[in-house]
Amino acid sequence: MRNLSFDVTEAANLLSALSNPRRFQILVFVSEGEREVNAIADWLGLSQSAVSQHLRRLREVKAVQTRREAQQILYSLGSAGAEIIIRSVMQLSVSPRGAPA
């Protein structure tokens, strides 16, 4: 097998984490700017604990990062690569006008 310049297992774990619709929605939301858990929960209509579990999984695969500001923890995209993935998937998911979805 040829040596690859990236960790295949890590890449597969990232894609697995992003395959959950709620986690993908979270990434889209935080791609627009830093967000705290309650703002994400309100936007999604989920409980804070459910969002926290999704965020924990996204942190594990380095899709999001955190920054503490006083008592709040703010979430943002983990890397420029995460934004590229989000934008690429969004582009691929758009149906051409007049075409069935």
- Tens-digit pLDDT profile for residues 20-50: 999 999 999 999 999 999 999 999 999 999 9
- Tens-digit pLDDT profile for residues 49-60: 999 999 999 999
Between 94 and 33, the higher pLDDT residue: 33
CATH T-level topology, domain 8-87 = Arc Repressor Mutant, subunit A (1.10.10)
Percent of the chain residues past pLDDT 90, beyond the cut: 57
68 forms beta bridges with 73
Between 90 and 64, the higher pLDDT residue: 64
Q: Which of 76, 84, 33, 80 is nearest to 58 (CA)?
A: 76
Domain residue ranges of the chain, discontinuous segments joined by +: 8-87
Give me the pLDDT at residue 46, please: 97
